[in-house]
Structure 1
């Protein structure tokens, strides 16, 4: 079993509140718009990190992290990207590949809107953790955490951190 903390859209912001949840996870996944690499460096000091770069990320983040990350954890196939859309409205860049290389969990960020949605057509779980940072239009900073075990997702929780700003 692995405990996963899923975050996105930190936009160079990390604080003790985020790090408290990082310490409770086995792995942290960041779905892009990292901002300053001090964010991912702070996470990597505490836990293993998987991340993708987002549209605001500079050449340093793009050199360290991929546009798309595809991997398997606890027999669960993951595809994480920053701008991916959601069921019935996937990004054109990935739409066809999602049909032929369908993960168990499809993760995207970008919208700053927390979303957990099951795609019945593709038989996948879509996760967007919202935004953990202070930059953007969201009112509450959010993250997701869950457990992966023997091919299943368990104990999915929404974490509301605080008001933005």
Structure 2
């Protein structure tokens, strides 16, 4: 299973991000969506699971909780915007992947059997950080991650 992971779009759904996410079986948006049109664009590619971030405001955000627990291809994932909102490390739970955003910095880190994944920011460039998305593969319970730099964008 191929899962596209995107975050911090802040209302900007780049064609480069859509090109990378095309072909995904599922897409996760880890918050700071910016506008509902971002989700509409992603849903044209695949089913979407999204959470709201700290900049998401308005009536439309009521459809997006602050955190979501889902299972894809037998793997439990927890999605929330800000990693610092974790109340405790999930070492004793069945969660195998924690997806976050917020920092605009891509991160792939495994601790105590849990994969922490931040795809970075796919929206407007901030702090000269790269503009990135992630591709998460699940194959018979094994996980693989690729951070994809969308290139020299503004």
Provide the TM-score with structure 1 as the length reference.
0.85
Structure 1: stretches of 5+ with no match in the other structure? 85-90
Residues 1:160 and 2:152 are matched in the alignment: no
Indicate the residue corresponding to 1:74 in structure 2: 73
Partner of 2:90: 98
Of the three residues 127, 142, 145, the one matched with 2:135 is 145
Provide closer, same or farther for how the CA distance between residues 60 and 46 of structure 1 changes in structure 2, counting only shifts above 3 A: farther
**Worse overlay, 135-144 or 96-105:** 96-105
Larger proportion of helix: 1
Q: 1:138 to 1:66 in 2, by over 3 A?
A: farther
Following superposition, the deviation at residue 164 of structure 1 comes to: 4.4
- Counterpart CA distance in 1 for 2:129 and 2:8 is 13
Change (3 A) 1:126 1:5: same
Aligned length: 154
Corresponding position of 1:49: 48
CA-CA distance at 1:13 after TM superposition:
0.5
Partner of 2:23: 24
TM-score relative to the length of structure 2: 0.91
Deviates more, 1:52-61 or 1:33-42: 52-61
Name the residue aligned to 1:88.
none
1:104-149: per-residue Cα shift (whole Å, max 9, x none)? 00111000010000113xx201000000011532431001102112
The alignment's C-alpha RMSD in Å is: 1.7
Change (3 A) 1:44 1:61: same
Which consecutive residues of structure 2, in runs of 5 or more, have no partner in the other structure?
A: none
